[in-house]
A and B are shown apart, each in its own frame.
Chain A
Amino acid sequence: MRMSRIRNRVLGSNVAHPLSPTDPAGLRTAAAKYLPLAVMLFFSALLSAYAQESADSSQALRFEGYPNAPTFSVVPRKEDLFFYPCDQCHESMEPNPEIRQLDAMHDSTLEHGRGRIWCTSCHDLENENFLRTLLDEPVDIDEAYLICGGCHANRQKDWTFGAHGKRVANWQGDRTLYNCTHCHNPHSPAIRARAPKPAPPVRAGLKLERGVVHEKSPNWDFREEHEDQ
């Protein structure tokens, strides 16, 4: 039951935001048909500032965005993922929560969190194609920003309002953002140094000299002038 609901939600929402968890499951399926309307409704509501506890206590908390935040959609990334969907392989494998050195297919190192996190901190052990929040709620891969915000809340807020991250193409009109994982490899998020583009040419007639200090003239010293008085 849970899986099918999630699948519906994800299939229905190629768009960035899924529907609110407070909606009944039936409404969610209907929303898949009337997707544009549903998205509009979702944004116009944008709900409360922080995770809302649903009336149904079986559903976990989920972050629903900031009030007054400008609406946005996120550039989908699933098609670029070589191994996605994950259940291509993992369907036939037994879930193994044990912390261990991975061998085939995956990077064997995790340069993120300095040893404090592990695959299942972000990936859902049961539903292989999904990520999971700290409250064990499955989240679609294209909504990775919800996972990152679990720890990096300030960055996520800046990203939502446009002070961090990168907007696509326009400054006016529909706001499309790159996901956190477009720029930061989630398994090694630090940005690597790279070569700069060529330096500008030195102007004709000028010579490039480094380490020359121009600010002090030998003929004039501020302190000497004041000692006289």
Chain B
Amino acid sequence: MSNGGNNFDKARRKFLAGLGMGAAAAVGQPAWGGEIFQDAFADFFQKDYRRMSAEEIAAALERIERKAKSRYDVEIDCQNTPPQQGVVYGYAINISRCKGYRDCVYACVKENNLGRDSQMQYIRVLQLDQGNFNLEHSDHYYDPETVPVEGKHYLPVQCMQCDDPPCVKACPVEATWMEPDGIVVVDYDWCIGCRYCMAACPYWARHFNWTVPEIPAEEMNTDTHYLGNRPRPRGVVEKCHFCIHRTRKGQQPACMEACPTGSRIFGNLLDPDSEIRYVLANKQVFRLKEDLGTEPKFWYFSD
């Protein structure tokens, strides 16, 4: 038995060494210091985000930056901005003002370094018949000359950041969890790509990365976060994270900033003077599939 274990260890070492050598040989003397072998080794033993010490996280962030340099030839800044005290994020969309332009969708793709070839999109804008909320009859492939189309209304859907998230319960390896500020995040390095969470999500908000994201170097967003929009590997699940790298620094999510109609309202649910609280207190709000009891922190309202 022990002999077998030794053989396995040797094989793995040989494999890892070969990996490092091969990559080094392919690229020559790399500009980032030739740390491919160490990086591969450290990646292999990287822990779950929540179990890493501060030093280990710092080292992981540096590895992510080096990998982005080698993969995309871009100097990214991968951060680990912690959640703010006393903040829980909430989102509201005014569906009487949404015109279905899809500006939010493409701002999201750009901001979050989503692959341009895979065309994975975190936001889907549903087109529904007026006076109808049957999601089964919605169409998110609508493509008329101009929007809004007479007799239709639009309903943007993305991750609802549920307060009782079924996706988190479904994950067998605890690679996804809810942060103290209410954002449900994914540790892409810990995800095994089993896609149970996708099956558990009632909103079709989680997406599987079938390919390594192809992003032109000049369009790469260099402002990234470990739990957010850093370049992701193939074969993991990802989703909207309320632009964690922006919102934790006080900025608006990219979809909200891009919306030309101002339908999107974002803020701190714990602050009674915030805009989101005004909407919740003074407008007729509803949530999607509220009967499932997932407590989404994502509301819709109309004027």
Contacts and interface: CB of A to CB of B under 8 A. Distances in A.
Nearest to B257: A169
A197 B140 CA distance: 12
Nearest to B149: A193
B143 A171 contact: no
A163 B251 contact: no
A115 interface: no
Given A171-B251, A197-B101, A200-B124, A163 B282 contact: yes
Interface stretch (A46-54, A78-86, A208-216): A208-216
B146 interface: yes
Nearest to A195: B146
B273 A197 contact: no
A194 B139 contact: no
B102 interface: yes
A171 B252 contact: yes
B147 A200 contact: no
Interface residues of A, number: 33
Interface in A129-178: 158, 161-167, 169-173, 178
Interface string B189-224: 000000000000000000000000000000000000
A196 B144 contact: yes
Given A163-B283, A172-B250, A191-B261, A196 B273 contact: no
Given A197-B101, A200-B119, A214 B136 contact: yes
B141 A200 contact: yes
B78 interface: no
A161 B92 CA distance: 14
A194 B100 CA distance: 10
B99 A191 contact: yes
Given A70-B274, A164-B303, A173-B250, 7 more contacts: A68-B273, A163-B265, A166-B261, A193-B99, A199-B140, A200-B119, A202-B141
- Range of interface residues on B (Cβ < 8 Å): 35 or more
A228 to B, nearest CB: 27
Main SS of the interface on chain A? loop
A166 B250 contact: no
B250 A195 contact: no
18 contacts: A68-B273, A70-B274, A161-B275, A162-B265, A164-B303, A165-B262, A170-B250, A170-B251, A170-B252, A171-B256, A194-B101, A195-B147, A196-B101, A196-B143, A199-B141, A200-B119, A214-B136, A215-B136
The listed residue with most B CB atoms (<10 A of its CB), out of A70, A195, A196, A199, is: A196
B106 A197 contact: yes
Contact of A199 (B143, B259, B260): B143
B94 interface: yes
A165 B262 CA distance: 5
B142 A196 contact: yes
A141 to B, nearest CB: 21
A172 B268 contact: yes
Given A70-B273, A172-B268, A215-B136, A197 B252 contact: no
A178 B142 CA distance: 30
Nearest to B117: A201
A215 B134 CA distance: 11
Contacts of A197: 101-103, 105-106
A183 B106 contact: no
A217 B145 CA distance: 34
Contacts of B275: 70, 161-163, 167, 171
A164 B252 CA distance: 16
A171 B136 contact: no
A218 interface: no
Contacts of B294: none
Contacts of A196: 100-102, 142-144, 146-147
A97 interface: no
A191 B97 CA distance: 10
A198 interface: yes
